[in-house]
């Protein structure tokens, strides 16, 4: 174990050393984010920062930690990573259409499904029993990977936001993988913490005020890796194993779900970008850039803590935890106006009930 910890610390150092070179490369390639109405940066900022994470992670896997992982899964995963990183780099340099980015994700997901054998096979529904997915295994697996990848991509709107939230989520997954029931193999925990180490080395350059952005190179790569690594515990899905990664990734999933709901209610295309995401709303309420990021880190930590309670709770406890976090989340979302200042159904319902109880008591 001590040997693994030392190699993870070396991975952090490698990431910290590689990032400045990737920053220079970004200027050479023209991978630069220029200020516009949707961006918070006030000056041109080098992107493709995810390339530094990709290089550092794979250096750790193939050099520092070699021999720790099943060969067929590792090479399939690496091939898929290359597809994702290439897709992200092309988008950062020339800007791909949403359909082309989606195609890149689907191709990469297909590689890990068929060549790596990483997929959902069975679903266990409480009170109903076990179901084999059969041919549905492929579309369900692809949907999971696409959804998580895009969720992480959507929260990459402030310096250090996606990086920090991903560190918290992945660290929680790693703890689950090693100590609880998310996955049966410790090598997955090592793989997860290797990615965490690469992210930690990159974060000082990415935290506000950032000197380099993740770009789609990084956001797609991190989201894809989180989706694939979480799938290692979802081959035979139960109520608990399905909920754990969803709760761990509560921040990006919440932002994505409410963004889709907001756009549908406003009769706008789901793919249309706006400035009403979670981080936008917090800044509009008066928080600074850094305060907003730290608040969302705190929210991610709450989700992480709740997810750790699931393996040690009974089924009834898990149901109660889920209800409580959904109600609490809805109250938070309505209070900051994530789907609109005038859309507060739960708050208004509670207000009416309190007023009615007050009249009855008088």
Transcribe 118-145 into DSSP letters: ----EEEETTTEEEE-GGGHHHHHHHHH
Q: Can you tell me the distance from the alpha carbon of 14 to that of 17, in angstroms, rounded to the nearest whole number?
A: 5
Give the C-alpha distances (Å, rounded to integers) separating 250 from 153, 177, 351.
Answer: 14, 18, 27
Location of structure tokens 């509670």:
350
Alpha helices, DSSP H, located in the chain: 2-29, 50-59, 71-94, 98-114, 137-154, 161-179, 186-206, 215-231, 239-248, 250-265, 278-284, 289-309, 315-336, 345-361
- Phi and psi of 132, rounded to 5°? -85, 130
- 357 burial type by CB count under 10 A (0-12 exposed, 13-18 middle, 19+ buried): exposed
Q: Which residues share a beta bridge with 237? A: 123
Q: Can you tell me the distance from the alpha carbon of 193 to that of 178, in angstroms, rounded to the nearest whole number?
A: 10
Residue 216 marked as a ligand binder: yes
Q: How far apart are the first and last CA of the chain?
A: 66
Residue 153 marked as a ligand binder: yes
Which strands form 122-125's sheet, in the order they lie side by side? 129-132, 122-125, 236-237
Transcribe 243-286 into DSSP letters: HHHHHHTHHHHHHHHHHHHHHHHTT--TT---S-SHHHHHHHTT
Q: Can you tell me the distance from the alpha carbon of 313 to that of 217, in angstroms, rounded to the nearest whole number?
A: 38
What is the number of other CB atoms lying within 10 angstroms of the CB of residue 292?
Answer: 25
Annotated binding-site ranges for Mg(2+): 153, 216
Annotated binding-site ranges: 153, 216
């Amino acid at each position: 174990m001590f040997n693994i910890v030392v190699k993870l610390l070396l991975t952090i150092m490698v990431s910290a050393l590689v990032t400045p070179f990737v920053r220079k490369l970004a200027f050479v390639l023209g991978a630069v984010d220029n200020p516009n109405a949707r961006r918070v940066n006030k000056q041109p900022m080098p992107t493709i920062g995810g390339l530094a994470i990709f290089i550092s992670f794979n250096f750790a896997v193939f050099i520092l930690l070699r021999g720790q992982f099943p060969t067929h899964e590792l090479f399939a995963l690496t091939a898929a990573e290359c597809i994702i990183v290439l897709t992200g780099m092309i988008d950062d340099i020339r800007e791909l259409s949403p359909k082309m980015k989606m195609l890149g994700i689907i191709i990469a997901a297909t590689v890990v499904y068929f060549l790596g054998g990483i997929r959902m096979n069975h679903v266990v529904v409480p009170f109903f029993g076990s179901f084999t997915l059969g041919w549905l295994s492929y579309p369900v697996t692809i949907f999971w990977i696409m959804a998580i990848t895009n969720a992480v991509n959507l929260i990459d709107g402030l310096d250090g936001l996606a990086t920090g939230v991903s560190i918290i989520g992945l660290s929680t997954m790693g703890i689950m993988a090693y100590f609880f029931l998310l996955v049966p193999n410790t090598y997955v925990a090592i793989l997860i913490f290797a990615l965490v180490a690469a992210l930690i080395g990159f974060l000082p350059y990415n935290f506000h005020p950032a000197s380099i952005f993740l770009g789609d190179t990084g956001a797609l790569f991190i989201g894809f890796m989180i989706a694939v690594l979480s799938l290692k515990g979802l081959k035979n899905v139960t109520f608990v194993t399905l909920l754990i990664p969803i709760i761990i990734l509560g921040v990006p999933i919440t932002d994505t779900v409410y963004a889709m709901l907001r756009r549908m209610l406003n009769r706008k295309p789901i793919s249309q970008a706006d400035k009403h995401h979670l981080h936008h709303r917090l800044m509009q309420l008066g928080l600074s850039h850094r305060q907003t990021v730290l608040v969302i880190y705190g929210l991610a930590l709450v989700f992480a803590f709740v997810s750790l309670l699931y393996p040690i709770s009974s089924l009834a406890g898990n149901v109660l935890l889920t209800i409580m976090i959904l109600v609490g989340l809805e109250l938070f979302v309505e209070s900051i106006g994530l789907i609109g200042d005038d859309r507060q159904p739960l708050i208004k319902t509670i207000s009416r009930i309190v007023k009615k109880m007050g009249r009855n008591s008088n």
